[in-house]
Amino acid sequence: MTRNLVRRRRRLLSASLGVLLSLAALVAGSAAPAAAGPADRASTQAAVLRFNAIWEPGTDNRAWVHTWTAQDLLHRNGELFGQGWRIDSLTMVRGANGELRYNAIWKPGSGPSPVLIGWTEQQFFAQVGTYWNQGLRPWRINRYPHAGSFRYDAIFKPGTDGRRYVVDWTRESLLAEDAKMRAQGYRLVQVTGVPQNSPITNDIRYVGIWMPGTDARPVLLGGTWDEVSQANGNHWASGYRMKYLSSYLTNTGALRYDAIWEPGSDGRPVIFGWDAAGFAAKNSEFWAAGYRPTVLQSYLSVS
């Protein structure tokens, strides 16, 4: 184990704060597949595409893509669906020219798992009601401004619980709701900050999804790099591993993080702000060590 945490654009959190994961100590897995051919199709002339990711223990040959168009992603989803894979992670990144691209991870699964991309607010809420009556619950929700209004992406999975989800909530309102939901036996599985349209406001609104759970489930909203680093180290020592991670640039250019931790004892690797080549190299390294990507998010930085 060697210390190698550097506060630069490339950042890695793993077995504990500031300690690189000892790959030799992990169970070997199969070789990682090469990144998909069209994986770097986002326009990045004016900025650098950077990645946040979390890996979890696993031996399956799960598929992942980044910066794909909605059309290509939905086509690939149809192919993988027939092969017994279900989409589990879906995030959006806006290219340098404003184009929307998508990152996704598929895991082994069965049963229905509808995916929505780029729906209007009216369409989204109507479809949630339809799917709910069909025994499907939202698993992931993206909300982002586009073409003068907010658009939605979502993944639905089979379920019968009374799952709670909210969009466009302030930080204070979401934290108050989380306290109520915890008392009712629910825990957050997603919390995502969304900068608002106006360029002169730093207002952030949140998407949240709760599912049944009883663990302590630490949550961080809008943290700085120092805050999320310290929180990860503290939670790691207390027997928690990062389960969910999202970052965004505020309208004033500040990078902020949202994160959720769950009980665990594995050596779960996490990276922040790595470029495409660095992410691909780390994915191959961790894949060979018996870890698979479970969260994949990207954003354009100014350098």
pTM of the model: 0.85
The domain total for the chain is 1
Instruction: For residue 81, give the H/E element and its range.
Output: helix 70-81
25-46: per-residue pLDDT in tens?
A: 222 223 333 333 333 333 334 4
Q: Which residue has the tokens 């995502």?
A: 192
Residue 36 domain flag: no
156's tokens:
């639905």
Number of C-alpha atoms within 13 angstroms, CB side, residue 13?
23
Model pLDDT, residue 202:
65
Residue 37 lies in a domain: no
Q: 173 is in which domain, residue-wise?
A: 52-301
Q: Residue 296 falls within a domain, yes or no?
A: yes
Classify residue 13: in a domain, yes or no.
Answer: no
In a domain, 33, yes or no: no
Is residue 87, in this structure, part of any structural domain at all? yes
Count of residues making up the chain: 303
- Residue 43 is predicted with a pLDDT of 36
Q: Is residue 254 part of a domain?
A: yes
> Which DSSP string corresponds to 28-49?
P-PPPPPPPTTTT-S--TTSEE
What are the residue ranges in the chain where pLDDT is below 70?
1-46, 197-202, 302-303
Each residue's pLDDT tens digit, 206-218: 999 999 999 999 9
Amino acid 283: pLDDT: 96
Residue 35 covered by a domain: no
Both tokens of residue 40?
């770097």
Q: Which own/partner pairs from 144-152 qualify as long-range (CB within 8 Å, at least 24 positions apart)?
A: 144/92, 144/94, 144/194, 145/196, 145/197, 146/100, 146/118, 149/120, 149/121, 150/121, 151/118, 151/119, 151/120, 151/121, 152/116, 152/118, 152/119, 152/120, 152/121, 152/123, 152/124
